[in-house]
Amino acid sequence: MEIHMWEDIDKEEISKAVMLLDLFTKIFCRYKNDYERFDDLKFRCEECPFSKPDGKCICKEFKNKYAPDYREFGSMGDL
């Protein structure tokens, strides 16, 4: 019975972590007023510590692994 209790707690904590990563990516990933400044979307991937050398986002990998049904994640949506 205790195992189920801990599984529920873990799921809740993972859900909170994904929501916080979502908030982080929505705040950090895109430059503010990027359309006005750059005439296009502009992301901070090159300077982000969560960006891997191959260009993949560790935040998005975490979301995809633990909450694959979470929609509208970050500034990049579900691409």
| pLDDT tens per residue across all 79 residues of the chain | 455 655 676 888 999 999 999 999 999 999 889 889 999 989 999 999 999 999 899 999 999 999 999 999 987 765 5
Specify the amino acid at residue 31: Y
| Cβ–Cβ under 8 Å, residues 71 and 21 | no
Whole-number pLDDT of residue 41: 87
Structural domain boundaries in the chain:
2-66
**Contacts (Cβ under 8 Å, ≥6 apart) of 60:** 25, 73, 74, 76
Nearest residue to 18 (alpha-carbon basis) of 75, 76, 79, 60? 60
In this predicted structure, what is the pLDDT of residue 75? 79
Cα end-to-end distance, the chain, whole Å: 39
- Specify which residues 57 forms β-bridges with: 51
Q: What's the gap between Cα 66 and its chain centre?
A: 11
The per-residue pLDDT for 78 is 59
User: The whole model's pTM is what?
Assistant: 0.78
